[in-house]
Amino acid sequence: MRNIVVIDAPSNLGLRPPAPGTVPGCHKLAGALREQRILQRLNALEGGVVVPPRYDRGDWQEGDGVFNAAAIASYTCRLADRIEHHVRAGDFPLVLGGDCSIQLGASLALRRIGRYGLAAVDASHDFRHPGNSDHVGAAGGEELALATGRGQEDLTNLEGLKPYLRDADVRLFGIRDYFDEDTAELAGLKIPVVTVGDIREWGADALARVTAEAFATGQLQGFWVHLDADVLDPSVMPAVDSPDPDGLLPDELVALLRPWLASPHCVGLNVTIYDPDLDPEGTAGALLADVVVDAFAQA
């Protein structure tokens, strides 16, 4: 049994302000899940906090590229240091975000070690880049593009390791069936996109097992799982920045995650986007903690 090590990555650097003069509240995700006693329930070890730089977009304007880029680059390297240490030690890092840009820390860490895959569970593709959009700016909606080498060099080529992920080693799950903005591009790149409808048609458990088997073959040394809370339906997870309808239900998400987390080839998991500021009663946070704990439980 590997040790689960919980690492806090409370960065909100990759999201736009929810309102003028405010900052995104997803930096409180880790504290909220700790309040749900996630460490104790998982019998996990303490991995500490990687403290992010201050959120400050300065005089950034549309067209200036990714805001907070220098801060994100610095933070990505420091988070990668922490994750790399635990993966090399044989631990299983559970990284509590934060926005989706923290996934760059995991991808960089694993790129330092070798070649790894990514199972991204998200409502949207997060594949915005200068080649397909005039609105690049928020790294939290661009992290998959950045990790695969698309975008500005100060984020895509840290330590000269571009790309952190190869297109062929990425899989997307839980995309809303009506999101077709990047579908054609991803299809051309042969990056599989599994929608909510696909999961319900083929079965979450079956899909996850096939994916785990695919990641266990070939030249990969393992794979990482990225979980964005907005993959859940807003009826159960309204506390996200983009609560789009027709998402997964908790049991479906657990069924998808469980075979991956049980695989010896899975080396870590990060959880992102849940915003406690949008959850005054804490019910969505409690549900998210339950999902993560249940996903680690083996039948």
Average pLDDT across each block of 10 residues of the chain; the chain has 299 residues. List them in order: 95 95 96 98 98 94 94 98 98 98 98 98 96 94 98 98 98 95 92 98 98 93 98 98 97 98 98 98 98 89
For residue 218, the model assigns a pLDDT of 80
Return the SS3 of 48. Answer: strand
19 CB contacts (<8 Å, ≥6 apart)? none
Q: Which sign, positive or negative, has the C-alpha torsion 135, 153, 97, 4? A: positive
For residues 71 and 53, is the Cβ–Cβ distance under 8 A?
A: yes
27 vs 10: CA distance, rounded Å: 4
Residue 299 has what pLDDT?
Answer: 43
**Are 50 and 82 a contacting pair, CB within 8 Å?**
yes
Task: Dig out the tokens for 114 from the structure.
Answer: 């070798």
What's the one-letter identity of residue 57? R
Please give the radius of gyration of the chain, using alpha carbons only, rounded to the nearest integer.
Answer: 17
DSSP code of 114?
S
Tell me what pLDDT residue 1 has: 76
CB atoms within 10 A of CB 209: 16
The token duo for 221 is 């040394």
Distance CA 20, CA 218 (A): 48
SS3 content of the chain, % helix, strand, coil (to 5): 40, 15, 45
Scanning 27-102, the segments in alpha helix (DSSP H) are 29-35, 38-42, 69-88
How many Å apart are CA 10 and CA 276, to the nearest integer?
Answer: 12
List alpha helices for 133-249, DSSP H: 143-147, 153-156, 183-188, 196-202, 204-215
Residues 6+ apart with CB under 8 A from 133: none
